[in-house]
Amino acid sequence: MKFLVPLLSLLPLVVHAQAPTPQVIPVANLAAAPKPDGDLSEWGGSGWVKVPVKPALEREERAKYGLDPAGERNTAGRLTVELKAGVAAGRFYLAVRYPDDAADTVHKEWSWRGDKYQRENQLEDMFAVRFHLAGDFDRTMLSTKDYKVDVWLWSAARTNPSGIAEDMMHHVTTKMQDSAAEYQVKDGPVIYISKRRDEGAASYEMLPRPKENKGDRLPSFAATNAAGSAADVAAKGVWKAGYWNLEFARALDPGHADDATFKAGTRISAQIAVFNKANAEHKSVSEPLVFDFGAVK
């Protein structure tokens, strides 16, 4: 499906001051491979890098351009995410922790109303990290630059039970793309954003609307057996005492063209996003980051 977005909704994401120097996330050699289970005790108490995130659309910008001026749909706001990264036995590991006052683990249930099921509007918590894959990396998806990113998306309801994050490739370009969202910039080009899941079987599938009453509330998705490139990224989250604790793990080089490759002695641009009961533009994002594999052996 294609979407044509007016200028007023684009300006908050397109106009920025000069970007600061990217924050560096050092990647360490780990003595042992941590289990990606959301228990961060293996990572120790030191060496965490604090990364600030803020709304992708600021409150003032929303009010100025008539977009959800109170910003109710972004409940993450400004917060600090702590990151720690390492390599062991040919795999990359990323630990994440950040504050969240509640674990939102229900997503768009089917609810029986009257004589049929209707989808509720609950949204789960999510966290995303994207790595530069090709082209001229930019901090915003609404960019006239042409670039691709490898995106890992953890979600508290859909992917967490399976322990596999969604693995996707996003392509931002001004060249026409089939099945891409379209964004028109005033006096400028159309920006195409293509979002494609990696090849293989995903870890969940959406369920159609049930025809008969089987209970007041039913899930709208079901777990499946992930396979192929879509199953490359292990990810698990545990909410405890007001914090989400997440762990990601993936081979340094999965051998797929739609995956970013991590190499010893190199650096790779990246970015993170926090979704608190939100999706799309209602998220909080970091400035660009650089994961430094310089110390990796």
Q: Please say whether the beta carbons of 199 and 228 come within 8 A.
A: yes
Task: Give the pLDDT confidence score for residue 118 in this predicted structure.
Answer: 96
Identify whether the C-beta of residue 92 lies closer than 8 Å to the C-beta of residue 291: no
Q: What is the pTM of this model?
A: 0.88
As beta bridge partners, residue 113 has 116
Residue 239 has what DSSP assignment?
E
Q: Picking from 43-52, 101-110, 135-144, which range would have the lowest pLDDT averaged per residue? A: 135-144
Q: Give all domains of the chain, ordered by start, each with its CATH number.
A: 4-107+122-191+234-292 (2.60.40.1190)
Residue-level pLDDT at 178: 84
Closest CA to 167 of 200, 193, 207: 200
**Stretch (H or E) spanning 170:** strand 166-173
Residue 83: what pLDDT? 98
Three-state DSSP class for residue 14: helix
3-state secondary structure of 242: coil
Bigger pLDDT: 184 vs 97: 97
Instruction: Indicate the pLDDT class of residue 75, thresholds 50, 70 and 90.
Output: confident
Strands 49-55 and 284-285: antiparallel
The two beta strands, 4-5 and 181-184, are parallel
Contact 127, 96 (CB under 8 A): yes
pLDDT of residue 268: 98
pLDDT in tens, 236-250: 999 999 999 999 999
| CA 294/CA 297 separation, integer angstroms | 8
pLDDT, tens digit (0-9, with 9 covering 90-100), for 212-239: 999 999 999 999 999 999 999 999 999 9
Cβ 219 vs Cβ 42: under 8 Å: no
- What is the predicted pLDDT for the residue at 58? 60
Q: Calculate the average pLDDT of the chain.
A: 88
pLDDT tens-place string over residues 62-73: 443 344 555 556
Q: How far apart are CA 105 and CA 155, in angstroms?
A: 8
